[in-house]
Amino acid sequence: MFTGIIESVGTLKKIENVDGDIRLTISSTQLDFSDVGLGDSIASNGICLTVIEQGKDWYAVDVSRETLAKTAMKNWKEGDTLNLEKAMLPTTRFGGHIVSGHVDGVGKIIKMQADARSIYIEIEIPEEIKHYTATKGSVTVDGISLTTNLVKDNIICLNIIPHTATITNIGKHWLLNGLVNIEIDVVARYLERLLTAGNNYDANESNITEEFLAKNGFM
């Protein structure tokens, strides 16, 4: 479990093929590794990955072909900057929202422009998850807990403040037409399941709307 508050950035140092799967080595001089052990989870650009080897300032993870196929990781290359967050502790300050590290889809950055000191960004997300998003709702993009300013069909609109752009990989590595990992708010997923259970549930034909949520006190 994570919060979407990025602790540091890291560098993808090595990509190796290991018997058909991929092994990644990620380094960071900023992340505190003193409480990281083998088997621990670190969200890397929003993907929950398990530490299988580590050193003073680096860790290695194994990645399945399923993860490669379903995330933006397939476009990663050595030297890329990644957003890192260790799994939360019971005593962790909950500064973002509930993040599982399980990517729901890949988004495409279709607009980026300056907005005073902030960066205005529009991201096109997959049709099958658009109904889980809401204006002023929470969404995780490359592991970052963000608030949607506006939702336009399958486009989410975001404003990135200077601090967030500086301490994450947004300022230097998010580019027009670039791909990013999207995780929807887990509350929306379970709420839909609860309200549609036993009614021939189909996530792609949900009756849950922003108006419905507001009317029933969820917004």
The CA-atom distances, in angstroms, between 7 and each of 4, 97, 132, 188, 207 are 9, 15, 26, 25, 37
Instruction: Name the DSSP class of 87.
Output: P
Give residue 218's pLDDT. Answer: 64
Residue 72: both structure tokens together = 């933006």
Residue 25's nearest CA partner among 74, 103, 80 is: 80
Residue 6 identity: I
Tens digits of residue pLDDT in 130-156: 999 999 999 999 999 999 999 999 999
Per the DSSP assignment, residues forming a β-bridge with 183 are 140
Answer yes or no: are the C-beta atoms of 115 and 85 closer than 8 Å: no
What domains, with CATH codes, occur in the chain? 8-86 (2.40.30.20), 105-215 (2.40.30.20)
Mean pLDDT of 182-204: 76
Report how far residue 167's alpha carbon sits from residue 169's, in angstroms, rounded to the nearest whole number.
Answer: 7
- 67: helix, coil or strand? helix
Helix (H) or strand (E) holding 167: helix 162-167
Residue 89 is predicted with a pLDDT of: 81
pLDDT in the model for residue 99: 93
The torsion of the CA quartet 194, 197, 203, 206, rounded to 10 degrees, works out to -80
Digit-coded pLDDT (tens) for 33-84? 999 999 999 999 999 999 999 999 999 999 999 999 999 999 999 999 999 9
Q: Which of 123-137, 150-164, 194-208 has the lowest mean pLDDT?
A: 194-208
Task: State mean pLDDT over 7-13.
Answer: 97
Are the C-beta atoms of residues 177 and 108 closer than 8 Å to each other? yes
Over 90: is that where the pLDDT of 165 sits?
yes
Give percent of the chain above pLDDT 90: 76
**pLDDT tens profile 26-41:** 999 999 999 999 999 9
Under the banding of pLDDT at 50, 70 and 90, the label for residue 172 is confident
Report pLDDT for 32: 94
Q: Label residue 90 by pLDDT band (50, 70, 90).
A: confident
